[in-house]
Amino acid sequence: MIPNNLRTEVDASQLMWMCRKVLAEDLALVRVEVASDRYRRHAKTVRVTAMEKVASFGGTLGLFTGMSFISFVEILYWMAKYVGLQLTAIKAVSTKTAPPISLA
């Protein structure tokens, strides 16, 4: 809260005058000149190897989920193995043979 002795009422015309004064006194103009009309264009391409992509993915996975890349691959392995066993069981039921039970 502003104390009463520091408060001043400013109308719109005074405020506009103050803004114009500040702009006139504090405004700077910067001019950049180039010695010639020619310039050299540089293009930079980012090249990422496959190993850098794997490392980046593993680092992001570890950072955001606390999971290592090896754990992620192991989960994919067991999911694929489970799906394979289920498909074998479905195939066995349709042909009336006993499905394999071993997970090892």
- CA pair distance 81, 97, nearest whole angstrom: 20
pTM score, two decimals? 0.37
- pLDDT, greater one: 35 or 10: 35
Task: Please write the tens of the pLDDT for every residue from 29-49.
Answer: 788 888 888 878 888 888 888
Angle at 27 between CA 21 and CA 33, to 5 degrees: 155
Task: Tell me how far apart the alpha carbons of residues 46 and 40 are, in angstroms, rounded to a whole number.
Answer: 20
Q: Using CA atoms, how far apart are residues 101 and 80, in angstroms rounded to an integer?
A: 16
